[in-house]
Amino acid sequence: MDDGEKNTLLMFLEAQRASILAIVDGLDADALSTAVLPSGWTVLGLVEHLGYAERHWFQEIATGYAEPLDWPDDDHLPLTTPRPPSVVFAFYRDQCERSNAVLAATPLSTPPQGRHPGPLGDEITDLRRIVLHMIEETARHAGHLDAARELLDGKTGLGPR
């Protein structure tokens, strides 16, 4: 049962991850770093945020450990980044691969080894809920990126083909 359910959850998570990358495909460095909403977030900053979310949930929370990052904590606006697109996209893809490795090696019923603060931490009782949360988180931000892309260059309906 666990493998079938795990494969289904991974299929939905991978579809959302693919949407993220497809929506932003073709944007140049300037567009990726341009804030289009008053809150000031950028497309590139949101992709980096999703990499951090993968790292946080599948490593820090599911396994209780994440290797230190190659860069220090930055002093910049939330959901922006000083890093170039190549670094951010490599980081995102690497974190997704690490998440997949945790998912492959861990039963869905496994309780988290770390704890997320606040009420959401109380809701995360096993790896299954971590995966469900990441599907929701990624889908939510795919919608944000859809809107940002339309504001940046007018393109709509983007996603994996």
pLDDT reported for residue 3:
86
Of residues 103 and 122, which shows the higher confidence score? 103
pLDDT reported for residue 161:
60
pLDDT reported for residue 157:
81
**What are the C-alpha distances in Å from 34 to residues 53, 105, 145?**
22, 39, 12
Whole-number mean pLDDT of the chain? 93
The torsion region of residue 118 among left (phi > 0), alpha (psi -120 to 50) and beta comes to left
pLDDT bracket for residue 75 (50, 70, 90): low
Strands (E), 3-154: none
Nearest to 155 by CA among 34, 141, 146: 146
pTM: 0.94
Contacts of 5 (CB under 8 A, 6+ apart): 108, 128
- Whether 25 contacts 85, CB under 8 Å: no
pLDDT digit string (tens) for 15-40? 999 999 999 999 999 999 999 999 99
Domains detected in the chain: 2-153 (1.20.120.450)
Mean pLDDT of 52-60: 97
- Whether 39 contacts 80, CB under 8 Å: no
CA distance 122 to 8: 24
Judged against a pLDDT cut of 80, whether residue 54 lies above it is answered with yes
CA distance 107 to 32: 37
DSSP 8-state class, residue 71: S
pLDDT digit string (tens) for 113-134? 999 989 988 899 999 999 999 9
